[in-house]
Amino acid sequence: MSNSPVFRFAPSPNGELHLGHAYSALVTDHLARAERGRFLLRIEDVDGGRARDEYIDQIYDDLTWLGLTWETPVWKQSQHMENYAKALDKLKQLGLLFPCFASRREIAEHELTPTMPDTPDGFPIYPGIYRDTPAKEAASRIAEGEPHTLRLNMEKAVALALQKTDVISFQERQKDGSYQVITVSPLDWGDMVLARREMPTSYNLAVVVDDALQGVTHVTRGEDLYYATSMQRLLQILLDLPEPLYFHHPLLVDMTGRKLSKSDDETSLKTIRATGISAAELCLQLPPLIL
């Protein structure tokens, strides 16, 4: 058991699961079975403003309806905040964090500089304001209670990571089951936010800490998180965490080719289940699980 591969499905309870989540959970379960691995469910409820208990109950209900089973107790990120704080502190000790006092508006106005590239997910890159704020000034603004986020100094972080490893890369599963090494450039993301007042960790930080603590060996998730893997690998290297294998499966799209989203009512599993379809019938309508 202790040497078994460990897979996880890690939904955020910010809305109802849709068909795309069902597909992702089924692909993960399928690969876990094929590798005689364990299947874990992790509830990524760090966003206190959006996560809701009724969505968590609905996730259990939908996954059970799909025929999935998972180990208990279920890992809920909101119950493990101290682990993310420890990781954040380690990055702070390494001198890689800086407080940013800019409001979203200040950043947006600053970012109108046309020469700046966007991040891989299409948002303007952080323009570096506050990166070089003198430590004393930053400390007194924090002491006065000024709201701020904590950002990773990306150039410093990559430089430190490259002292520990020759290249920053991850291994991505291919259609034939082999793995390809993908070299990545986390610099493309700029100085990422790792903590904010209303959410003292970030998705990327919590994911790498939990994947390590839960012994996850295989990260299986949608293609929309392919580029985020570069930030996660960087954090794993900096925090001395093990490197899992990755598989980013294609996303399901709607009739117009748009990726499914939690706000689409007609593709939510709850709505689909209400039509009376069985899980077996639904599975027949999904793309094959091994691609």
Query: For residues 140 and 261, which CB has a smaller minimum distance to ligand GLU in the complex?
Result: 261
β strands within 26-185, DSSP E: 38-43, 75-76, 97-100, 149-152, 169-173, 179-183
Cβ-in-10-Å burial (0-12, 13-18, 19+) of 73 comes to exposed
Size of the site for ligand GLU (CB under 6 A): 7
Q: Which of 10, 205, 212, 238 binds ligand GLU (CB under 6 A)?
A: 10
Identify which of 30, 11, 24 has the alpha carbon closest to the alpha carbon of residue 177.
Answer: 30
Spatial distance between the Cα atoms of 152 and 154, rounded to a whole number of angstroms? 5
Question: What tokens appear for 168 in the block?
Answer: 């920053």
- Over the window 152 to 181, marking each residue x when it contacts ligand GLU by CB under 6 A and - when it does not, the resulting string is ------------------------------
CB of residue 143 to ligand GLU, shortest distance in Å: 34
11 binds ligand GLU (CB under 6 A): yes
Report the residue from 225, 239, 251, 283 that binds ligand GLU according to the rule CB under 6 A. Answer: 225
CA-closest candidate to residue 24, choices 68, 61, 57: 68
Largest Cα–Cα separation, the chain: 63
Nearer to ligand GLU, 84 or 130 (CB): 84
**Which member of 80, 151, 221, 248 binds ligand GLU (CB under 6 A)?**
221
Pairwise CA distance, residues 84 & 66, whole Å: 32
Among the listed ranges 7-15, 67-75, 136-144, 272-280, the one in contact with ligand GLU (CB under 6 A) is 7-15
Euclidean distance between CA atoms 279 and 64, whole angstroms: 10
207 interacts with ligand GLU by CB under 6 A? yes
Tell me the window of 4-12, 111-119, 186-194, 236-244 that interacts with ligand GLU (CB under 6 A).
Answer: 4-12
Tell the smallest beta-carbon distance from residue 210 to ligand GLU (Å). Answer: 9
Residues that bind ligand GLU (CB under 6 A): 10-12, 44, 207, 221, 225
